Structure 1
Amino acid sequence: MSDFVRPARLYLSALLSLALSAALVPPAFAAGAAEPAAPSPGEPQIPSVDKGLSAERVLSDMEALEANADYEPGTLLALIDGDAEVASAGVTLKELAGALDGAGGNLSGGAESIDRAGRCSLSPVSAGDAGDLGILGDIEPVAAGDWLGGLVLARVPVPEGMGAGEAASLLAQDGRVVDFSLGYVCSPEYVSEGAEVEVATGDPIYGELDKQWHLANAAVPGAWSYMQNPDGTRARGGVTVAVIDSGCDLDHPDLVGNLDLANAYDAVAGGPLEGDVLANVDAEDGGEGIASHGTHVCGIVGAETGNGIGTAGVSYDARVLPINAIDPATGRTAPGAIEAAFDYLFGLIDSGEDSIRVVNISLGSRNAMPTVAALLGRALDEYGLTVVASAGNGASSAAHYPSDYEQCISVVCANAEGRKDPNSNYGSGTDVSAPGCYVWSTVDGGGYGYKTGTSMAAAIVSGVAALLYTMDPGATPQQVRDAVVGGAEPLSEPEETAAGMVNATDAMELLLFGVDYGDVGTEEWYVTGGYFTYVARAGIMRGYSGTASFGPYLDVTRAEFATVLYRMANPGSGATTDPSLYEDDETGFSDAVDREYYTAALNWAKREGIMTGDASSGYTTVRPNDSLSRQEAAVMSRRFAGSLGADVGVEGMAAPALEGWDGVAEWARDAMTWCYHREVITGWDNRDGTFSALPLKTVDRSQMTKIATVLDIEFAK
């Protein structure tokens, strides 16, 4: 791609950046744009452009693009003044949009919606405006949302017998046309080799991953472990992923429960989605691999997880909103269809559908798409959307769109050995890699099959992003991007790309805890039980400062136990940053120390009667750095609950039926009984059907996560 051609095709986005007051693309090449006048209050600013240069750019683009066909030669895209009159209707384009929306023309864009399935003509212009040029007599509006700043984006068919260059010249003479470009299109990013379709049962997400190797390679099950709540429920749902693709099999048994059927939309036909528009593509007609593309992508993102059939979606049951942008006649996007899809999404969000957080675009082109560049900035900055796009399958480091736009997370395709797939694009415009070779997912007709390509890789990253938003709904797109990219691991052969392999577990840890804990096993009981996630997110327990270690099997010291209790009772206290809290030891214990991390906690614990000192020393010592036994932890836990007003009586509570109960000290028996019945400290599992008291066994940090979780939920909250 020459340096001349690329900025030429970005020109329209420079125009939009003026119209929207958002400099999304540096307009270094926009010498033809006049300096905009100061806008009138409440009126959109419509800039003046040298449209003769735009016509020249159409001609140069055609010459450069004829070899790759990533545009529709018979269609131009035009930005038209929304105040232009519609022929024989007596209304403006914008007014027509509102009228159609009120009549149920479609669901897009609120009051700015237009019926994209219908065509309309603009009224003939006066002779003073170059006469009736005839080029706007059969236009098809695509988008008219607020993000266009009072303009309407429309497809303009090139009249029969007229070339695109001549049509562009006529558009340049029409005063209602603000700017125009070729009708650029995208194609599904798949590689056809190895396509296989079969019906299967299984969903073996807790056994061998088998055909779902991509889940293991992207460390997805570990991320799922963090989604367990302490009450035994799974954190799931609440997030919607919009999939702009070829639609979806709306009746697939492994998808239907997670599909947003009420809002599924066809941005090409301009109405409700009826299915995957590529469902009936015949392989003999060159469609091998492309059939069911949207259904396959939707399944990778959001097939029902744990339902015992088929495959498991990466997102663990996020909602999936399928939107078709593909013209079934060509197998590529219709010009302006991606813009129409975003226009629709913006309207949904404006109407209250605020669960939409991720957009997957497994489509791409070698050609820049100016209006897509403009709306991606709006999607990120104003609507908080994380947009994930496939990097393309051209085995090239050349520019690729929309993935190369900085607002997207661009995804490279990797294989099971952790190497970049030879067909995948790579280079400085990419952000992260993901499994994409022979990925098993849903296909049309209720079946399953393999597909390969950056389309599949992008869908995995979209699923990971949905996991992160599920666990942290308040996360920003930048925080999610940082977690996904920062948690990635280097590829086995990283010489061609620095886009490391996505690691869903590490991404989850970076987002939730700010660190990738190297010593926390995601299949350990304290993680799968939801305890570790709870205390870490609540700031009750943290790792060791300056390290990536949590120390789950290190003993809890008496001072650490007091500090954890203090944090629960005094959230956000600033115990180690406010000198008035930690400067002086007030306990009277001879072995307590000023200005230690635990000083404020010990002062508080002494005042509350939670730590009274050692009887053996006449209550003059507290042994802050000694380990804590189970019976000592029980006593402190019961006193803590009592200090918060809880009923800590043991009347009616039977002594626990635990082996070794006779070894519990007399002074700890009531506390051990209370903790057992309140499930704070229960019996030690002997793994043979019996449980032991083990009163003298020390408490480690993994056990402390459960103690702290129960105390915080039941008594401190």
Structure 2
Amino acid sequence: MAKSVRFAKFFLNVLLSVVLSFSMVPLAFADEAEGAAASPSVGSEVAPPTDKEASLNKALDDVATLEAGTDYDPGTMLALIDGAAVQADGSLISGLQGGEGISGLGSMEPVATGSWLGGLALVRVDVPDGMTLEEAAALLAADDNVVDFSLGYVCEPEYLSENAEAEVSTNDDINDALDKQWHLGFAEVPGAWSYMQNPDGTRVRGNVTVAVVDSGCDLDHPDLVANLDLENAYDVVTGGPLRGEVFTERGTAEEEFAGDNSPFSHGTHVCGIIGAETNNGIGTAGVSYDAKVLPINVFDPGTKKTPTGAIEAAFDYLFGLINNDINNDINIKVVNLSVGSDQAMPLVAEKLKSALEYYNLTVVASAGNGGTSGEHYPSDYEQCISVINATPDRVREKNSNYGSGTDISAPGFHVWSTVDGGSYGYKCGTSMAAAIVSGVAALLYTMDPDATAQQVRDAIIKGADSLSDPTTAAGMVSATNAMELLLFGVDYTDVETEEWYVVGGYFTYVGRAGLMKGYSGTSLFGPELDMTRAEFATVLYRMANPDSGATTDPSLYEDDRTGFADAVSGEYYTAALNWAKDAGIMTGDSSTNYTTVRPNDSLSRQEAAVMSQRFAGALGADTSVANMSTPDLLDWDDVASWARDAMTWCYHNAVISGWDNRDGTHSALPLKMVDRAQMTKIATVLDLDFAKKTSKPTV
């Protein structure tokens, strides 16, 4: 076999170089050109498809390494051809099959067509009995109607039906189902949800779309329908709108299922893990907290397998949607691939490269259920985040693949989610684990819409918790750690997600806005530590000068001049103190004739109030208290006379509110020092209500 392949490759390379003159047809989808980094703008010409000579070499290499029992579509090749050969009813014009080169092959069947293919059609070509795959590849390479081609490998869903135990329920109350959703706790999803709070009290919900390339979805499921992109749901096999879940083996909703008799609605289960509606009082909650889910079917409902060409076509469809999404209404950010095979997929690899480098998509793939460390695709491609199935015991599930090609582990053992017919059930496999990681990726994009796919990948993988399994170094995904790494650059060990400053959205806001950071070289934020006067000035400076790097770049310290005798030049606060003095926000200590400022001393609530009022005034805001009532605070008389106007103004503008005594009363506590947790609220209110709404000070 090897010798014949080498001879065939040599002969065909010569034939291609002498006889063929390839005209590369620009497609409506992108096959990444080497070295390109940016996504093409809408309407721009994208990179040409893979050179057919390269496709031929890849096909011949694959043929040379085929082993008995390899899971590919026997006697089948996949080809992209001129779409003009496909008639309105989906059938092929018979004359094409009599054309040069392809005439020696058997019948052709359209796999996918549509305007998103840029005038091309993906077809499945039968290889006649007695013809080798090498000979078929040569014919396709020699035909001018053929743009690209590959072997007809097939993938299967990464689901362990023989180990799954399922139960069907209808409209479970969310509280009743919490004990079934162990995967949410193990993946530390609720902690990540804590950060999804706006300072105005509203919840940040999923504003991105996750494409689920799978077996479709129950489009009427009550726990999914609100979050499904029904307009763009697509069936690659039929070349038209998705009609529903193509894997359906179930009885009535009341019937109990177990083992191999469980509902096999694979895509519906994956979609539910990612995007089941949250807090709707039924069933289960998706990891993504209400991201949109775009289901795409690539599976033949009869064989329950998919040719790799269908996966390629699914990516082309997604690329077309993104290219036409001028207003970013769909906002596809994540692609879930809970499918796989042990055979390389070179053309799929090209799509993955385009997905990452042209379209900034995070692609998450299941690692496979073979229980080996061998090769597995598409998950082994570096453009994917490859996910291992982990159990509640924090070890690899015995059937899960592992090895150097894997990146992270996630709960995949008896995961509770939606199934066909409006019901729910357990499933087990790396499919489920991958879906959890896809949901986490969607959470990250929701909170940081400008994040790159590489940043999201790094946050997920670097934020993993250790896994007590010697066979894998891929730790357990932690949605909380990943969120903190993306938003703040570190997963803080001293920040509890249930604390008021996190739940209120203040901690998240100052992190996203770059106003406050943790202590350099540590994983500590110091929420209970006092805020120093220099730190306070630095936060104000960052609000008023968001484009300046003076507090982080020593070369921008305004010539290291210092306006106060005790302020040191070349420090992180130097530019901020100079600015604060020039703007009249910090005037210095009266006891030293205003020559010192005590930059490293803590500041009290009344001192913070004075600086906050002056800051708003420097921005042009109305800081008058003429029409403001005296705050109803128990210890108001303890407020210094020089701070009363400022405390009144801060109270009525919710900058520094009364201290809750937990008995229905509030206190001013003017001499209490401001800690860093309290500063997150002060900074959030000042930035949102004043720095972003008024003019900047001129200094």
TM-score range, shorter chain: 0.7 to 0.9
Helix, strand or coil for the counterpart of 2:410? strand
Q: 1:245, 1:326 within 8 Å by CA — same for their partners in 2? A: yes
Task: Give the corresponding residue for 2:292.
Answer: 319
Over 3 Å counting, the alpha-carbon distance change for 1:231 and 1:139 in structure 2 is: same
Task: Give the corresponding residue for 1:94.
Answer: 83
Q: 2:32, 2:357 within 8 Å by CA — same for their partners in 1? A: no
Give me the whole-angstrom Cα distance separating, in 2, the residues matched to 1:95 and 1:170.
22
Give me the whole-angstrom Cα distance separating, in 1, the residues matched to 2:649 and 2:536.
18
The question of 1:220 aligning with 2:189 is answered yes
Give me the whole-angstrom Cα distance separating, in 2, the residues matched to 1:208 and 1:284.
18
Give me the whole-angstrom Cα distance separating, in 1, the residues matched to 2:292 and 2:456.
18
Shift of 1:346: 1.5
Give me the whole-angstrom Cα distance separating, in 2, the residues matched to 1:615 and 1:59.
86
Over 3 Å counting, the alpha-carbon distance change for 1:229 and 1:179 in structure 2 is: closer
Give me the whole-angstrom Cα distance separating, in 2, the residues matched to 1:608 and 1:179.
66
Shift of 1:50: 10
Shift of 1:615: 3.0
Task: Give the corresponding residue for 2:351.
Answer: 375
The question of 1:172 aligning with 2:148 is answered no
Helix, strand or coil for the counterpart of 2:455? helix
Shift of 1:604: 2.0
The question of 1:399 aligning with 2:372 is answered no
- TM-score when normalising by structure 2: 0.85
Q: 2:389 aligns with which of 413, 418, 433?
A: 413
The question of 1:629 aligning with 2:629 is answered no
Q: 1:189, 1:390 within 8 Å by CA — same for their partners in 2? A: yes
Q: 2:152 aligns with which of 157, 167, 183?
A: 183
Task: Give the corresponding residue for 2:697.
Answer: none
Helix, strand or coil for the counterpart of 1:72? strand
Over 3 Å counting, the alpha-carbon distance change for 1:359 and 1:557 in structure 2 is: same
Give me the whole-angstrom Cα distance separating, in 2, the residues matched to 1:52 and 1:260.
38
Q: 1:218, 1:501 within 8 Å by CA — same for their partners in 2? A: yes
Task: Give the corresponding residue for 1:523.
Answer: 498
Shift of 1:59: 6.2
Residue identity opposite 2:669 in structure 1? L
Give me the whole-angstrom Cα distance separating, in 2, the residues matched to 1:122 and 1:133.
10
Residue identity opposite 1:699 in structure 2? V
Over 3 Å counting, the alpha-carbon distance change for 1:580 and 1:391 in structure 2 is: closer
Over 3 Å counting, the alpha-carbon distance change for 1:627 and 1:170 in structure 2 is: closer
1:302-361 Cα shifts (integer Å, max 9, x gaps):
011121211111111110000111111111114522122112111211221650111101
1:149-205 Cα shifts (integer Å, max 9, x gaps):
x9754201345xx25x45763563463157755421111111122421222556648
1:7-66 Cα shifts (integer Å, max 9, x gaps):
x99xx9xx99x9957469xxxxxxxxxxxxxxxx9996885649998887676566x14x
Instruction: Please list, as runs of the form range in 1=range in 2, the aligned pairs for 1:85-484 lying within 5 A after superposition.
Output: 93-96=82-85, 118-123=91-96, 125=98, 129=100, 133=103, 135-142=105-112, 153-158=122-127, 162=129, 165-166=131-132, 169=135, 172-173=138-139, 175-176=142-143, 181-192=150-161, 193-199=163-169, 201=171, 204=174, 209-280=178-249, 288-289=261-262, 291-334=264-307, 336-352=309-325, 355-484=331-460
Over 3 Å counting, the alpha-carbon distance change for 1:551 and 1:401 in structure 2 is: same
Task: Give the corresponding residue for 2:38.
Answer: none
Over 3 Å counting, the alpha-carbon distance change for 1:267 and 1:45 in structure 2 is: closer
Residue identity opposite 2:304 in structure 1? G
Shift of 1:502: 0.8
1:384-431 Cα shifts (integer Å, max 9, x gaps):
211110000110001111111111111000011211111100000001
Task: Give the corresponding residue for 2:79.
Answer: 78
- 572-581 or 525-534: bigger deviation: 572-581
Over 3 Å counting, the alpha-carbon distance change for 1:202 and 1:709 in structure 2 is: farther
Give me the whole-angstrom Cα distance separating, in 2, the residues matched to 1:475 and 1:454.
26
Residue identity opposite 1:280 in structure 2? E
Q: 1:666 aligns with which of 626, 631, 641?
A: 641
- 302-311 or 117-126: bigger deviation: 117-126
Task: Give the corresponding residue for 1:32.
Answer: none
- 247-256 or 362-371: bigger deviation: 362-371
Over 3 Å counting, the alpha-carbon distance change for 1:200 and 1:146 in structure 2 is: closer
Over 3 Å counting, the alpha-carbon distance change for 1:336 and 1:703 in structure 2 is: same
Give me the whole-angstrom Cα distance separating, in 1, the residues matched to 2:344 and 2:406.
16
Q: 2:609, 2:650 within 8 Å by CA — same for their partners in 1? A: yes
Give me the whole-angstrom Cα distance separating, in 2, the residues matched to 1:608 and 1:292.
64
Give me the whole-angstrom Cα distance separating, in 2, the residues matched to 1:280 and 1:538.
50
Give me the whole-angstrom Cα distance separating, in 2, the residues matched to 1:261 and 1:297.
16
Shift of 1:221: 1.1
- 705-714 or 136-145: bigger deviation: 136-145
- 483-492 or 295-304: bigger deviation: 483-492
Question: C-alpha root-mean-square deviation of aligned residues, in Å?
Answer: 3.4
Give me the whole-angstrom Cα distance separating, in 2, the residues matched to 1:561 and 1:42.
50
- 366-375 or 212-221: bigger deviation: 366-375
Task: Give the corresponding residue for 1:702.
Answer: 677
Residue identity opposite 2:110 in structure 1? E
Give me the whole-angstrom Cα distance separating, in 2, the residues matched to 1:585 and 1:42.
52
Q: 2:215, 2:267 within 8 Å by CA — same for their partners in 1? A: yes
Helix, strand or coil for the counterpart of 1:210? helix
Give me the whole-angstrom Cα distance separating, in 2, the residues matched to 1:400 and 1:453.
15
Task: Give the corresponding residue for 1:654.
Answer: 629
- TM-score when normalising by structure 1: 0.83
Residue identity opposite 1:196 in structure 2? A
Shift of 1:516: 1.6
Task: Give the corresponding residue for 1:34.
Answer: none
Unaligned runs of 5+ residues in structure 1 are 25-40, 83-92, 106-114
Q: 2:58, 2:346 within 8 Å by CA — same for their partners in 1? A: no
Number of residues paired by the alignment? 651
Residue identity opposite 1:169 in structure 2? E
Residue identity opposite 1:367 in structure 2? Q
Q: 1:634, 1:675 within 8 Å by CA — same for their partners in 2? A: yes
Give me the whole-angstrom Cα distance separating, in 1, the residues matched to 2:514 and 2:451.
17
Helix, strand or coil for the counterpart of 2:108? coil
Task: Give the corresponding residue for 1:541.
Answer: 516
